[in-house]
Structure 1
């Protein structure tokens, strides 16, 4: 579907998209730069505002995740087991190190200045990118996990690790010797994504079974009583529910509301505090593989990219849309005042 025929709410389509599945996309914390990782063995850097491909960096294997260091460099997690750093202006590439299996996730901690990677080798590794270049010279520590790492999220000094087997470990980056908390997902099926609340009080988890769980770090009885899960990305026809995996969660940086993307091709925006859906965008051409709000919350990048949930079949081309976000779509609505007594 071309940009000309896309409904007005879908956003503008970026030129030069990846030629195979999009694994993740991230807006910079400082600008309109957008970093995109893909199964076509590339890392791409776009200027989303100008619709310009600024750089393309080749890899040996599929690139499963990416993140910025700053606007001049970024990191990639690759299926060839390697963790790489790229300097965008020069195209220079450093190998920070390697895992013993594909690297699924990469995050950069501004609080500690470290790169954190999670792998299907059932480990978490921390790297100091200021250290000597060369495989594993930058390695700070290796931390065994109960299963393969599927998703990571950071807020301040807190790191949340979601693995296969519905395990969730919460770490304090200042003391990585043991998890601060060991949990089991409150969702019954495989975790697809974890994202921390911007205010640092908890995290959201999504699963293959069309649900999202809202969790809190505080283990007090009062705080835990606030956690809940809800159904989303489902279709009901003739009394039968079709359930779609929820692949992506992205929190709005200003309002703390969040968007979810599913294999149904829809993006929904939610007010977690008031347990309401605020908005649903027009359906995208295929599955939503990844989402990212810009630093000011005024843009939302959407990866419309088939995630092979129905096997190797014909599907729409992989596409990146960037839509302008209206306040009404993401701002929580004030609670109605109770009616006065008769």
Structure 2
């Protein structure tokens, strides 16, 4: 049965309207019940959580896109979307999930924090290998907070005329103040590489300085999310400008198993030998494991095979590893 801490977590998450946390704890209770042999109760609880998630997705209302459509020169710098993803849609290491839950909690309780003289976290730097969920986390933050997601188009921002780049940065930070949303600077190392590097030039340093100044001066309610696959390339001053830095590791065997199960949910699956699969998933990102799982699932559908087997899944994972190499 549920532990005392789990009961308290369920009540607390319900009171705060944190559905994602509520579902996570409920599934933890179900997992504990299954381990204790209470399989019927565990399955009923999982089915109940799944039903509530479906109801929640049906209640979501898509905002009117035209309200926040970038216009004029901003249309070349920002692309906008309205994600409906929630935190429970992502398979993440618990350390990462806990950090994102804290950001969401502070955003939802922002007025309460401000009344005591504190500001909610709103500047996030996400680091880690490609395919580990950094970009999708920005979509989740927008979906959970019912905000538009503005993705900064670096191809439109960075030009051969660095003076123009600084001017365009000002337009983006003006937009942060005018329209609340989640603003994603993906591959931020292209804009904020370390000053003083061997191939650095004065204009590049000035662009970085402008970015850091705009970031520090920004007092808007928007969330600024910067992501990079190469944190070692970032200027050290970047880290001081963010409220939190979240590192996304490659998936552990347990997380890899969850990714595989999620991707194979719509096809018949045989009894998988997870100890063998763990060796094949090691070193692959969440995204690579998902692609390999999809490949194995489609092979079953197209070939008429009865089910996904350990052998077919290992073959797909090894093929994916070859692409990565």
Q: Same fold (TM over 0.5)?
A: no
Which structure would you say has the larger RCO, counting Cα contacts within 8 Å and 6 or more residues apart? 2
Higher CA-based Rg:
2
More strand by share: 1
More helix by share: 2
Q: TM-score, normalised by structure 2?
A: 0.26
